[in-house]
Structure 1
Amino acid sequence: MIDDDGPGFCAGVKDAGADPFCERLAGRRFSVCRQILGGCFRFESTSKALLDLVEVAYAGLPSHQLPTGAPDFRIELRLLPRQVSPHAAEPPPVRVQSGAGLLCGVMDASNYVVLAPGQHSGLVVASQDMLGHPYHLRYELIEFAVFTLATRGLGLVPLHGACVGRDGRGILLLGASGSGKSTLALHSLLQGLDFLAEDAVFVQPESMLATGVANYLHVHADALCFIDEGAIWRWISQAPIIRRRSGVEKFEADLRQGHGRLAAAPLELVGAVFVSSQSADDADVLLSPVSSDEIAARLSADQSYAAGQPGWRCFEQRLMQAGVHQLRRGRHPRDSVDALRRLLDRCR
């Protein structure tokens, strides 16, 4: 028995007692379909504001296809009334939980995600005041749902890293936060390499095809000192500033504005580099191979979540065969890009 004063608080529900689970929402239902990470995602909502955020995240991206068949995914987005005590500065962090075949990410009672990977579906619930925190709503709720469903439904290995390449081949950029992955990815884009992803890369382990979402680039203000071209400088410096949970602030530059080339298809990984914040002893020798007996330990330490996923062992073995290097900093980021280009040339 559900009390009438219980959870019957959904927007658009006329009689909470007759529909306590909000299964008969009033209002017109809208939908948007997008090809993301090799899968077809259908987003449904009675809220245009929530679907607008989906477009902000995924409109205008290359439609990546993977060689194996992909299921269709469905995500419902539901908007609740404004909270009585809205978040003053930023929403609380997401807490994750699992059970009974479900995966959950919860900020609070009015902002959460419930995913059913076995059914390739999910529910994203947000309160109206969360529309005032579009970065957190998009990144921590909507993208959380998309990335998690794609990982489970397509058998992908989820990696925290970046990826650039050319001619269908890619180099995975790994390393701790602050090592310079985003700056290196930016200059790779500006110097003509294909840009796949800056923060999250998803790999099909059997084929070593990597895909990602090339929507935004997040860079520190100090990266601007290496930008000489005025149009590029303005593109980044005039971009909105987002604040990470760590307190670090970065520009969020939209990669779909035409400053460089986005990877039109998944890239086949032909190697990986651990990006180091240390300067090279020899400015002309930035790359050094990681010894084979160190690769597995370094990969697992760098990717603790991915290392526990089903496809990790296959991915690890394939990457060890391809080769892993360490990349130290040169005098200018373009020196590091030149090193990546030479590495790609050797892997032809």
Structure 2
Amino acid sequence: MESIRQSVPEYEDHADLVADPFFERLGTTRCLSKQILGGRFFFSSQNDALLDLVETTYGGLPGYVLSGDPSEFHVELRLVPRAHRATRTPPLVQMQSGAGLLCGVMDASNYVVLMPAQRKALIVASEDMLIEPYHLRYELIEFAVFALATRGMGLVPLHGACVGRDGRGLLLLGASGSGKSTLALNSLLHGLDFLAEDAVFVQSDDLLATGVPNYLHVRADALPLIEEEYVRRWICSAPVIRRRSGVEKFEIDLRTSLGRLAEAPMILKGAVFLSAQPVDGSNASLKRLPSDKAVARLDADQPYAAGQPGWQAFTRQLVETGVYELRRGRHPQASVDALLPLLA
């Protein structure tokens, strides 16, 4: 903890605090550069632990490149003294905007301020967030990266997974609990490339999709469907995270995995909605949705993206390519087999 405390913004001399009330003269910082989602992100901080967390999150990933020169983004991370709260779990992030700013606030010691027009962000986190950094990673750092990339590169942000092969991808959609992560895992284990589990970002003009293929989250109830003992051991060796909903999942680091990460962004060859209703037999059932139903389904499934620029162009092209509904079979392999013809 000593290395953390060294960088906490704090003045021992009250006169120094009066002279610099906004902590604008705290000294030198270190910087990390990462190619993420097709953009170049520069992370700066005085605190080594915060930069180590950035490295843990984004290190070792393929350097995805979209069309043209990569956009540049700057994210400053600042550590402040331990927050005083009744529970160890931080409050939910509250969103706010105004004066060209986007804000995500947990409490007075943990928040993000985004300046999309300047492609900059400030992340402030309390030192206790580094003890169990799950919420810091996903709700502050990832929030900043995804929001800046969406606004700065004109990407359509989607809640879903993406797998594929040979540069062709399929967008996997559906409500929480529909089996997106399980299907993504089995696709990975059976030779498909993995692009993203929970967040996919797409260029609306050409359906080029990008993501962050670092982690896959799998519930324990998916283990009985995996036949290979060494795969089950690999999953069980991963740490367990607890979602705010209370659901616990294994957090599998795919950068040291048995599968294969997508080497580059993928052109979408369709979208597949996963149905919670399985088929009666062993084989999965895949059917293409009519255009009007496909558009309505996409609008309902992606309420945030549906209000963003580029949504109409994106849905028009995606529906022309193909939007499907998948009812899973008795074994996850049957669902993977049903997807393969779409990638031919």
Give the TM bin, normalised by the shorter chain.
Answer: over 0.9
CA displacement 1:243-293 (0-9 Å, x = unmatched): 111111111110111311100000000101001121114543510111112
Distance 1:289 1:329 in 2: 15
How many angstroms apart in 2 are the aligned matches of 1:179 and 1:264?
27
Q: Quick one: distance in 1 between partners of 2:86 and 2:46?
A: 24
* AA at the equivalent of 1:145: A
Structure 1's consecutive aligned runs of 4 or more residues displaced over 4 angstroms after TM superposition are none
Q: 1:13 to 1:154 in 2, by over 3 A?
A: farther
Q: Please, what TM-score do these two structures have when normalized by structure 2?
A: 0.95
CA contact (8 A) 1:13 1:24 kept: no
> How much is the aligned-residue C-alpha RMSD, in angstroms?
1.4
Give me the whole-angstrom Cα distance separating, in 1, the residues matched to 2:172 and 2:266: 13
TM-score by length of 1: 0.94
Aligned residue type for 2:22: F
Residue 207 of structure 1: how far off its partner (Å): 1.4
Secondary structure of 1:278's aligned partner: coil
Tell me the equivalent position of 2:241: 242
- For residue 34 of structure 2, what is the aligned residue in structure 1? 34
Aligned to 1:311: 310
Paired position in structure 2 for 1:25: 26
> How many residues are aligned here?
335
**Partners of 2:19 and 2:95 in 1: CA distance:** 31
Shift of 1:144: 0.3
**Partners of 1:169 and 1:270 within 8 A in 2:** yes
Once residues 69 and 278 of structure 1 are traced to their aligned partners in structure 2, the CA distance between those partners, rounded to angstroms, is 44
Conserved? CA contact 1:86–1:129, under 8 Å: no
- Corresponding position of 1:126: 125
List per-residue Cα deviations over 1:35-78 (Å, max 9, x = no partner). Answer: 00000000000001101110111001111000133321000000
Which sits farther off after the overlay, 138-147 or 65-74?
65-74
Are 1:151 and 2:189 counterparts? no
Q: Is the 8 A contact 1:242 1:249 kept in 2?
A: yes
Question: Who is 1:270 aligned against?
Answer: 269
Q: Provide the rounded CA distance (Å) in 2 between the counterparts of 1:285 and 1:243.
A: 31
After TM superposition, list the pairs within 5 Å mapping 1:83-232 onto structure 2: 83=83, 85-86=84-85, 88-232=87-231
Q: CA deviation at 1:16?
A: 1.0
The DSSP-based 3-state class of the residue aligned with 2:138 is helix
Q: Distance in 1 between matches of 2:107 and 2:277?
A: 41
State the partner residue of 1:300: 299
User: How far, CA to CA, are the matches of 1:68 and 1:242 in structure 2?
Assistant: 37
Cα shift readout 1:170-219 (whole Å, capped 9, x = no counterpart): 00000000000000000000000000000000001111100000110011
**Corresponding residue of 1:257:** 256
Instruction: Please tell me whether the aligned partners of residues 90 and 106 of structure 2 are also in contact (alpha carbons under 8 angstroms).
Output: yes
Moved more, 280-289 or 322-331: 280-289
- Write the distance in 2 (CA, Å) between the matches of 1:264 and 1:13: 47
- Tell me whether 1:61 sits opposite 2:65 in the alignment: no
Are the counterparts in 1 of residues 282 and 331 from structure 2 also a CA contact under 8 Å?
no
Q: Determine if contact 1:116/1:122 at 8 Å carries over to the other structure.
A: yes
Whole-angstrom distance in 2 between the partners of 1:146 and 1:285:
36
8 Å contact kept, 2:103–2:112:
yes
Look up the SS of the partner of 2:70 in the other structure: coil
Structure 1's unaligned 5+ residue stretches are 1-9
Letter in 2 for 1:224: L
C-alpha separation between the residues in 2 aligned to 1:200 and 1:324?
Answer: 18
Aligned-partner SS, 2:147: helix
Change (3 A) 1:264 1:13: farther
What is the identity, as a one-letter code, of the residue corresponding to 1:318? Q
Contact 1:174 1:181 in 2 (8 A): yes
> Are the counterparts in 2 of residues 13 and 22 from structure 1 also a CA contact under 8 Å?
no
* Partner SS state of residue 265, structure 1: coil
Which ranges in structure 2 are unaligned for 5 or more consecutive residues? Answer: 1-7
Q: Name 1:4's counterpart in structure 2.
A: none
Give me the whole-angstrom Cα distance separating, in 2, the residues matched to 1:211 and 1:299: 19
How high is the sequence identity, in percent, across the aligned residues? Answer: 65
The 2-side partners of 1:293 and 1:71 are apart by 36
Is the CA contact (8 Å cut-off) linking 2:283 and 2:330 kept in structure 1? no
Matched position secondary structure for 1:65: coil
